[in-house]
Amino acid sequence: MTILTRRKLITSAAIGAGGLLTGCDALTRNPAFQHVLASAESANFTVQRALGDRMELASEYQVADLSPVFRANGTRDPGTSDYAASAAQGFADWRLRLTGLFVRPQTFSLAALQSFPQRTQITRHDCVEGWSAIGQWTGVPLKLLLDIAQLQASARFLVFHCADRLGGRPYYESIDLLDGSHPQTILAHRLNGEPLPVANGAPLRLRVERQLGYKQAKYVTGIQAVASLGGIGEGKGGYWQDVANYEWYAGI
Amino acid sequence: MHIHKESDIIPQPRHRLTTRLWHWINALCLLVLLMSGLTIFNAHPRLYWGEYGANNDYAWMAVGSSERIGYLRLGDMRIDTTGFLGNWQDSSGRTQTWAFPGWATIPSYYSLADGRRWHFFFAWIFSFGLTLFMIRSLWNRHIQSDLRMRRQEWRPSNIWRSFRDHSRISVIRQSWDKPYNVIQKLSYIGVIFILLPLMIMTGLTMSPAMDANWPLLTELFGGRQSARSLHFIAAFLLVLFFLIHMLMVLLSGPLRQTRAMITGGQARGVDK
């Protein structure tokens, strides 16, 4: 009796485990259930924004803390002839275009961006995959550019357009105005005291330090101020969000 | 010692309602968190100490695959894990080189975004559940009366006797309605007050936004990658606890034990 019961118990546990797995996959593919799971993500966003100062700085480190090698991920070279030509002349012809809901849309050359007051910060880059690298970034605070171009009252998000394509689609990312005006949010053109390497997003990449790596758009060519993310890409606010369902808010 | 007459004792189930509710909610949460956590681990199956750590840095633990051999590397030791870790066949017979196999992950196929959604949803339920259970169990004195270590229990002879008792099936079988012994108390206290809170805190440390809000937490664990390593180690200590827990339930009468954790069961026996 006891043996039979135990065997039954073990068998049903095994069946249960198998059923659980198939069940979980079915649930994962169910849009309504996905909606329930994703509700935790908006809780993460709300709670993390509510904790402490909304402008809290990410930890900054010392030169001694730098990663020996700063890992490059995603696109390591946009690979287009335009990009190669620009790289060949030190990106002298690179332009950053501020478009959309700005009072005074602007175009900046790399030299112009470098002539503004700069910010240098040693921060930790956390990839959604789990690895981290510490690097020293120098660049122009985004807030400074927003003050020059002046956002229209209806602007809610900043969309970063990039020169690279992944899987045939243009890479893009977006942040809200709170992160856009955060003091550590910069458009970096130097890494560890050297001009930004091609693999890390030369000549300009976004640093938005309180979010994960996929938000740190590389090869930035334009910033578009929008009222909603609906009309851009597939509407989820970024390449990985559109392609692989990553969360728009990447604070966790 | 004053012994109550049976009529004096207010009938008290072996497991209180809060304990039972939390036990099963927590069991579900931990199972989902473990399996979705393994999906997340598969995205980068390497562990480091310190603040940073990526492919060029030394990993104290790594799972990988080379030349059709799956392996687990711990420090300098490399263990062949073909068929189980790093190189395994999925249900349709295809070779996969993700670290943990599909039967151990949620979802059973690799999707970092879905794994994270499952993980963070159940992390909220788990955290609320643990907090409410702790508050309620202090309030109704479950912790003070059933889990608190008495001074004489710390005696090495008592701890040694408890270890010996755990190797005797006959003792385990009789122990099912006795007050918790010293090893049970230490295990439950260790899980409820150390391992489970450690899972939450090391988990929070991996969030860049939390690090900005609470940088002390990161420093406490010696950096983000250390926190990630501790998160993984604590998870496997919980798996170890689960395996011993299951063994003890099986040895001490799985039906009556499971029934007691569902219905509450009969009153706890008086002190030995």
ipTM: 0.90
Of B32, B212, B225, the CB nearest to A132: B225
- Give domain status of residue A145, yes or no: yes
CA distance B153 to chain A (A): 34
Write the CATH number for A158: 3.90.420.10
Same domain, A43 and A146: no
Q: Judge whether residue B55 has pLDDT over 90.
A: yes
What separation in angstroms does the CA of B39 have from each of A171, A212, B10, B35, B111? 25, 18, 48, 7, 7
pLDDT in tens, A192-220: 999 999 999 999 999 999 999 999 999 99
Same domain, B5 and B54: no
CA distance A72 to chain B (A): 10
Higher pLDDT, A16 or B48: B48
Q: How confident is the model at residue A1 (pLDDT cuts 50, 70, 90)?
A: very low
CB of A192 less than 8 A from some CB of B: no
B123's tokens: 């992390």
Same domain, B240 and B169: yes
Same domain, B89 and B197: no
- Sheet harboring A220-226: ordered strands across? A106-109, A95-100, A220-226, A157-166, A169-176
- Residue A102 CA to residue A222 CA, distance in Å, equals 13
Contact between chains at A48 and B41 (C-beta distance less than 8 A): no
Same domain, B260 and B173: yes
Q: How many domains does chain B have?
A: 2
- Give domain status of residue B129, yes or no: no
Same domain, A42 and A64: no
CA distance A172 to chain B (A): 18
- Give domain status of residue B21, yes or no: no
Same domain, A129 and A8: no
Same domain, A158 and A180: yes
Same domain, A35 and A63: no
- Give domain status of residue B270, yes or no: yes
Same domain, B56 and B175: no
| Per-residue confidence (pLDDT) for residue B192, from 0 to 100 | 97
Chain B residues close to A210, C-beta within 8 Å = 208-209, 211-212
Contact between chains at A245 and B114 (C-beta distance less than 8 A): yes
Higher pLDDT, B11 or B228: B228
Of A38, A58, A69, the CB nearest to B56: A69
- Give domain status of residue B127, yes or no: no
Q: Where are the alpha helices (DSSP H) in A2-30?
A: 2-29
- Domain with B7, as residue range(s), is 1-16+140-149+159-272
| Per-residue confidence (pLDDT) for residue B272, from 0 to 100 | 34
- Give domain status of residue B188, yes or no: yes
- Residue A30 CA to residue B185 CA, distance in Å, equals 42
Same domain, A114 and A180: yes
pLDDT in tens, B59-106: 999 999 998 999 999 999 999 999 999 999 998 999 999 999 999 999
Chosen from A129, A182, A241, A247 to mutate, greatest number of chain B CBs within 10 A: A129
User: Who contacts B26 (Cβ-Cβ below 8 Å, separation ≥6)?
Assistant: B126, B129, B130, B133
Contact between chains at A124 and B52 (C-beta distance less than 8 A): yes
pLDDT in tens, A84-106: 999 999 999 999 999 999 999 99
Same domain, B84 and B195: no
Same domain, A44 and A75: no
Of A48, A70, A86, the position where a domain reaches its end is A48
Residues 68-127 of A with CB under 8 A from B: 68-69, 71, 124, 126-127
Same domain, B9 and B62: no
Higher pLDDT, B247 or A4: B247
Same domain, B60 and B12: no
Q: Is the dihedral of CA B204, B210, B216, B218 positive or negative?
A: positive
Same domain, A171 and A232: yes
Chosen from B213, B218, B247, B255 to mutate, greatest number of chain A CBs within 10 A: B213
- Residue B254 CA to residue B260 CA, distance in Å, equals 10
Q: How many domains does chain A have?
A: 2
| Per-residue confidence (pLDDT) for residue A72, from 0 to 100 | 96
- Residue B128 CA to residue B203 CA, distance in Å, equals 15
A186 and A140 Cβ atoms separated by less than 8 Å: yes
- Give domain status of residue B249, yes or no: yes
Q: Judge whether residue A60 has pLDDT over 90.
A: yes
- Domain with A65, as residue range(s), is 58-244
Of the candidates B170, B255, B248, B172, which has an alpha carbon nearest to the alpha carbon of residue A3? B255
Higher pLDDT, B37 or A52: B37
- Give domain status of residue A23, yes or no: yes
